[in-house]
Amino acid sequence: SQTIHQWPATLVQPVGSPLSLECTVEGTSNPNLYWYRQAAGRGLQLLFYSVGIGQISSEVPQNLSASRPQDRQFILSSKKLLLSDSGFYLCAWSTGGTDIQYFGAGTRLSVL
Amino acid sequence: RKEVEQDPGPFNVPEGATVAFNCTYSNSASQSFFWYRQDCRKEPKLLMSVYSSGNEDGRFTAQLNRASQYISLLIRDSKLSDSATYLCVVPLSGGSYIPTFGRGTSLIVHP
């Protein structure tokens, strides 16, 4: 069966520090991968999605970036975090033949 | 008009009640729709898919009204454990891999 792993679960970082969040999927190949952010009390904001290795599409311009170095690995990065980067970051995957997404457990990021 | 709109609620209902949520969408070409459930501080989880003929799973019924461009979720015999936020999801267009999530409707079921 397919599983998605996302870590860390919680992260507290100072303003201006770098960020790296990792997400891996097991049990499937060539998944579509997504990064979302959910601010407190808000909806899901799509940040990046990828349909294949090295293929990244950005939905929202910001100081975040994403990379997909391997088929089932998706990384979210920042060189310098801002206070406004705080939120709940969720990775998700879907197969090419369906629009159903499956989410990782998320990373709760607090930038102080 | 926003792509996907939901009443944020909260809907505050007693156990055993029947409650319904609607979700309106703007893209008339959308083909498949979904309801997700999100518990507090947790990730969203798929609750139901919604197809043209509707879908029923136990106490939950999802329906599509394509003419009026909305989907609905009906919960019968509400349980305390149904308390959560319910998100509707609409792909931007048929075959697209870019879904649009509504902001969610909060449900609180009280004793």
Q: How high is the pLDDT of residue A61?
A: 66
Residue A99 to residue A24: CA distance in whole angstroms: 19
Q: How high is the pLDDT of residue B28?
A: 75
Q: Give contacts of A108 with chain B, Cβ < 8 Å.
A: 41
Contact A99 B91 (CB under 8 A): yes
Helix (H, G, I), strand (E, B) or coil at A10: strand
Q: How high is the pLDDT of residue B2?
A: 67
Contact A49 B97 (CB under 8 A): yes
Q: Looking at the predicted structure, is the pLDDT value of residue A110 above 70?
A: yes
* B32 contacts chain A (CB < 8 A): yes
Q: Any idea which of A83-87, B31-35, B36-40 has the lowest mean pLDDT?
A: B31-35
Smallest CA–CA distance from B97 into chain A, residue = A99
**What rounded mean pLDDT belongs to chain B?**
90
Phi-psi region at B73: left, alpha or beta (left = phi > 0; alpha = psi -120 to 50): beta
Contact B45 A103 (CB under 8 A): yes
Q: Give contacts of A33 with chain B, Cβ < 8 Å.
A: none
Residue A112 to residue A15: CA distance in whole angstroms: 6
Contact B96 A101 (CB under 8 A): no
Q: How high is the pLDDT of residue B93?
A: 56
Quick one: what percent of chain A has pLDDT higher than 90?
Answer: 77
Q: Looking at the predicted structure, is the pLDDT value of residue B91 above 90?
A: no
Q: How high is the pLDDT of residue B1?
A: 58
Q: How many CB atoms lie within 10 A of CB B55?
A: 18
Residue of higher predicted confidence among A15 and A100: A15
Q: How many CB pairs under 8 A join A and B?
A: 45
pLDDT tens digits, A30-52: 999 999 999 887 889 999 999 99
Task: Kindly list the distances between the CA atom of residue A44 and the CA atoms of A5, A81, A103, B59, B76, in Å, as whole numbers in the listed order.
Answer: 19, 20, 12, 26, 27
Range among A20-24, A58-62, B2-6, B27-31 rated most confident: A20-24
* Contact assessment for residue A89 and residue B41, using Cβ atoms and an 8 Å cutoff: no
Helix (H, G, I), strand (E, B) or coil at B41: coil
Smallest CA–CA distance from A40 into chain B, residue = B41
Residues of A with CB under 8 A from a CB of B: 32, 42-44, 46, 49, 51, 59, 88, 90, 94, 96, 98-106, 108
Contact A99 B96 (CB under 8 A): yes
Quick one: what percent of chain B has pLDDT higher than 70?
Answer: 93
Quick one: what percent of chain B has pLDDT higher than 90?
Answer: 69
Q: Looking at the predicted structure, is the pLDDT value of residue B59 above 60?
A: yes
Taking residues A3-28, report their average pLDDT. Answer: 95
pLDDT tens digits, A77-88: 999 999 999 999
**What rounded mean pLDDT belongs to chain A?**
92
Taking residues A4-8, report their average pLDDT. Answer: 94
Q: How high is the pLDDT of residue A50?
A: 92
